[in-house]
């Protein structure tokens, strides 16, 4: 049963890939907050506290989709993204670009699940399972280091807006964007690390049944217990002495 710990954890990672991984929030610029010290007040009709804008699951990050978490800010997505039931939207021309690197994540996780459930024993299976977990962790780490495309997309729009060529005036009103990791992403990293740590559990070959084989040499064979007659002959013949 110990050998199933890793593939079961990878199954949870595959499910979490479809849950929100990151959330984009609008946060007030420090300079704008300094001019408006009332933390709970609004400046120019915008709240001064962090406000959720949209979220992305692992799949949505890879494909460029998004889910609007604040319908009041729908227009900030370029005007073409129309929220559906639950705030979900399809990818549009003005939406964030995709991150094709993240497509390697479900591939590595699925490979680890298959390898983990195979009834194989030996170090090769364990090393392959560990490699799949390492690839999945590396994909998330590299993508986080490169930056998520949705943040880059908004930064470019902010630059255009400041130059007079953008269509997102909110960025000119002292609001910046912040990408926040959500709980499913942290749980995904936890399960990946756990699957890598338990990859070497279990999988020991069963002991071979059957009688032990010995060489033809007499010295390698087990010593035979002496028969009762032999032991009787070796004992002192006290009974014969009593008879005499």
Calculate the average pLDDT of the chain: 74
What is the span of the domain harbouring residue 73?
A: 2-197
Domain annotation covers residue 152:
yes
| Res 1: pLDDT | 75
Q: How far is CA 9 from the centre of its chain?
A: 9
Domain annotation covers residue 159:
yes
Nearest to 102 by CA among 198, 16, 5: 16
The number of folded domains in the chain is: 1
Q: Is pLDDT at 67 greater than 50 in this prediction?
A: yes
Summarize the confidence of residues 56-79 as an average pLDDT: 77
Of 12-21, 158-167, 219-228, the poorest mean pLDDT is in: 219-228
Domain annotation covers residue 228:
no
Q: How far is CA 22 from the centre of its chain?
A: 14
Q: For residues 134 and 231, which has the higher predicted lDDT (pLDDT)?
A: 134
Q: For residues 166 and 29, which has the higher predicted lDDT (pLDDT)?
A: 29
Following CA atoms 104, 109, 110, 116 in sequence, which dihedral angle do they give, to the nearest 10 degrees? 150
3-state secondary structure 187-212: HHHHHHHHHHHCCCCCCCCCCCCCCC
Q: Rounded to an integer, what distance in angstroms lies between the CA atom of residue 8 and that of residue 194?
A: 10
| Res 29: pLDDT | 73
Tens digit of each residue's pLDDT (9 = 90 or more) over 112-170: 999 999 887 788 889 999 999 999 999 999 999 998 998 888 777 777 766 665 544 44
Q: Give the list of residues 6+ apart from residue 126 with CB closer than 8 angstroms, or none.
A: 199, 200, 203
């Amino acid at each position: 049963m110990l050998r199933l710990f890793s593939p079961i954890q990878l199954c949870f990672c595959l499910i979490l890939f479809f849950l929100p991984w990151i959330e984009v929030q609008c946060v007030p610029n420090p300079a704008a907050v300094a001019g408006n010290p009332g933390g709970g007040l609004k400046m120019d009709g915008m709240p001064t506290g962090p406000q959720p804008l949209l979220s992305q699951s692992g799949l949505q990050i890879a494909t460029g989709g998004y889910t609007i978490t604040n319908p009041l800010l729908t227009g900030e997505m370029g005007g073409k993204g129309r929220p559906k039931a639950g705030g979900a939207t399809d990818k549009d021309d003005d939406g964030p670009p995709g991150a094709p690197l993240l497509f390697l994540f479900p591939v590595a996780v699925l490979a680890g699940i298959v390898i983990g459930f195979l009834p194989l024993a030996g170090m090769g299976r364990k090393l392959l399972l560990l490699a799949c977990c390492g690839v999945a962790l590396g994909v998330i780490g590299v993508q986080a280091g490169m930056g998520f495309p949705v943040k880059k997309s908004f930064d470019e729009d902010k630059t255009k807006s400041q130059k007079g060529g953008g269509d997102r005036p909110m960025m000119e009103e002292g609001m910046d964007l912040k990408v926040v990791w959500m709980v499913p992403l942290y749980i995904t990293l936890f399960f990946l690390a756990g699957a890598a740590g338990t990859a070497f559990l279990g999988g020991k070959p069963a002991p071979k049944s059957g009688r032990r084989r010995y060489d033809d040499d007499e010295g390698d064979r087990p010593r035979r217990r002496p028969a009762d007659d032999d032991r009787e002959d070796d004992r002192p013949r006290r009974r014969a002495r009593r008879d005499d």
